[in-house]
Amino acid sequence: MALNFFLRSARVSFDLFMETLGLVYLPQRKRLPPVTNPLLLQSATELVKKIKSGELRSETLVRAYIFRIKEVNGHINALVGDRFESAIEEAKALDDRIARALRNPSSDNVLELPLLGIPFTIKESIAVEGQPCTAGLYSRKDLRMDTDAPIVKKLRDAGAIILGVTNIPEFLLWWDTNNRLYGRTNNPYDLSRISGGSSGGEGALISAGGSLVGLGSDIGGSIRIPSFFCGIFGHKPSSNLITADGHFPYCGHPEREKYMVIGPMCRYAVDMKLIFKQIVNDQTILKLDEPVDLRQTKFYFLTSDNDPFKTSPSNDVINGIKSVRNFLTEEGYTCIDIQLPLLRKSFFMWLTSIADVDSPKLGAEVVERNGELNGWLELVKSFTVGSKFRKITCMNVILENMVHRKDTRDWKVFRDLIDNCQNLKRQLESILDDNSILVLPTLPEKPPKHNGTFLRMNNCGYTAIFNIMECPVTHCTIGLGKDSQMPVGFQMVAKRLNDRFTLAAAELLSDKFGGWTPPFETRLC
């Protein structure tokens, strides 16, 4: 009890300190230009049908999104590399093929492409030909990619048109998108707040109407956190389903590769499955086209992991989950409250699991294994003469050096956390059968103000632990909170390879609660 009281007191003090620092950033709500083009408010699923029928030209759609990006990017700083001219030329070529195929269906199979003419954006850490892939490192500022990552090629082969790449944190190390090369990305609902990370540019641009659908990557919540903060949908797939070739930085060790996944981010829940089917290595193992009967599904609910050192879930987060539970109960679905005490240690279980391998040190990775970064020296430089690395990167290097040593991994507390992680995995396997979904917070509170994340990093345990569990997780957004007027949502977890269950549940709940709420006015022509 005394320890819990101390940890809770420390947590409250840290949060209060962070909130006080955030007062220098005055709220900047509803600053985005209104949307006047109805094309920007339609799902990819709808738009593909219109393009295939000849009702809509891909060029028209691509130009609409390019125009919107130019409208909003000065406010949110989300797109950091564009290929607008090439995208327009590709759209024109597709339109010509479509016109010929509509006149003579046997002349071309273009109408069979599942993403025909749909504009995409891609997280900057995923290789796109001709675009930067720096991961925010100053040393890579002049680098441009010669080829597409395999996953980007899959999108192109399915008919997608890439508009550009979006902002990331330095070396993808943080849950706030900011770096020395491109600067920081702002939350579209309130420019004084963060967009999340590490797929924060993607989340912000999609929510602002500047992108329809995109790709992010996730090793500890990097798809789900910006999806939560920016009020959109995001899916972290089961492990080992999608190739990460062409993604930088590397995981550093084969054992870590299964924890880092690439997945879809979008405004409309119905589009997640459409995108996901095109990027997985083997659709058959996931049975994505099999119908899902959610009436036979058990929904387990957890509103807090009761960790005294994490921020307590806000009223908006708790009420959002409760409203979903009430709806499902009233509709006759099976709903069960649950507690998982081991989740209290989630963040530290994730840290130790990531560190429990023999791999190059972070200090070597951030300089691309050309020597090793001196974290202390660069931290001092960042406060004095200036450093090419952000302070948070230097501090991560310093902290990682403390746990990377082989003798540290032999400590009892370290091994106990590894054992706890395995015990939690067994518990989840016993609970999450082929017809079960676990619903819990993605994060406990609304997006912090800029520079307000450091003393809150433990909160990311809510998302990070499920990378270690290798489970599929979908973030579902259900509108804005009554108290905060910022996006509210939660994550849904299923048994590994049961991705179709959480995707189906997101569609169901989106239909009921409305999903994404625009952070701008609509003035349709």
Domain boundaries, given as residue ranges, for the chain: 39-279+292-513
Q: Rounded distance, CA 160 to CA 148, Å?
A: 13
HSE (side-chain half, CA atoms, 13 Å) at 302? 23
Identify the band that residue 408 occupies on the pLDDT scale cut at 50, 70 and 90: confident
pLDDT at 356 over 90: no
> Residues 156-183: pLDDT tens digits?
999 999 999 999 999 999 999 999 999 9
CB 341 within 8 A of CB 306: yes
Q: Rounded distance, CA 188 to CA 166, Å?
A: 14
pLDDT confidence of residue 405 = 67
Identify the band that residue 272 occupies on the pLDDT scale cut at 50, 70 and 90: very high
The pair of structure tokens assigned to 401 is 């050096």
Query: What mean pLDDT do residues 103-128 have?
Result: 96
- Sequence-ordered list of residues with C-beta below 8 angstroms from that of 136, at least 6 positions apart, any chain: 124, 167, 168, 169, 170, 171, 172, 179, 180, 181, 182
> Residues 210-221: pLDDT tens digits?
999 999 999 999
- Sequence-ordered list of residues with C-beta below 8 angstroms from that of 316, at least 6 positions apart, any chain: 446, 481, 482, 483, 484, 486, 488
pLDDT confidence of residue 251 = 78
**Alpha carbon 7 to chain centroid, angstroms:** 29
Instruction: Tell me whether residue 86 is annotated as binding.
Output: no
Instruction: Compute the residue count for the chain.
Output: 525
Strands 473-480 vs 436-440: parallel, antiparallel or unpaired: unpaired
Identify the band that residue 148 occupies on the pLDDT scale cut at 50, 70 and 90: very high
pLDDT confidence of residue 462 = 98
Query: What mean pLDDT do residues 191-209 have?
Result: 98
In 3-state terms, what secondary structure has residue 489?
strand
222 given a catalytic annotation:
yes
Residue with tokens 């994490």: 310
Amino acid at 488: V
Instruction: Tell me whether residue 220 is annotated as binding.
Output: yes
- Sequence-ordered list of residues with C-beta below 8 angstroms from that of 6, at least 6 positions apart, any chain: none
pLDDT confidence of residue 406 = 67
> Residues 46-74: pLDDT tens digits?
999 999 999 999 999 999 999 999 999 99
Q: Which of 518, 475, 479, 509 is nearest to 264 (CA)?
A: 475
Instruction: Tell me whether residue 221 is annotated as binding.
Output: yes
Instruction: Please state which architecture CATH assigns to domain 39-279+292-513.
Output: Alpha-Beta Complex (3.90)
pLDDT confidence of residue 524 = 87
Instruction: Tell me whether residue 222 is annotated as binding.
Output: yes
Identify the band that residue 202 occupies on the pLDDT scale cut at 50, 70 and 90: very high
The catalytically annotated residue of 222, 314, 346, 436 is 222
Q: Give the ranges where 115-216 is alpha helix by DSSP (H).
A: 150-157, 200-207
Q: What does DSSP assign to residue 493?
A: E
387 given a catalytic annotation:
no
The catalytically annotated residue of 123, 154, 273, 449 is 123
Query: Exposure pattern of 237-270 as b/e (b: 16+ CB <10 Å)?
Result: bbbebbbbebbbbbbbeeebbbbbbbbbbbbbbb
pLDDT at 324 over 70: yes
Instruction: Tell me whether residue 94 is annotated as binding.
Output: no
pLDDT confidence of residue 525 = 66
Q: Give the ranges where 138-293 is alpha helix by DSSP (H).
A: 150-157, 200-207, 224-230, 254-257, 270-279, 283-286
Render 135-157 in DSSP notation, one character per residue.
Answer: TT-GGGTT---SS--HHHHHHHH
Least confident among 280-284, 427-431, 470-474: 280-284
312 given a catalytic annotation:
no
Query: What mean pLDDT do residues 319-327 have?
Result: 98
Least confident among 100-104, 253-257, 492-496: 253-257
Mean pLDDT of the chain: 95
The torsion angles phi and psi of 236, rounded to 5 degrees, stand at -95, 110
**In what helix (H) or strand (E) does residue 420 lie, and over which residues does it extend?**
helix 412-431
pLDDT at 455 over 70: yes
pLDDT at 2 over 90: no
Q: Rounded distance, CA 170 to CA 163, Å?
A: 22
The torsion angles phi and psi of 108, rounded to 5 degrees, stand at -160, 140
The catalytically annotated residue of 125, 192, 195, 198 is 198
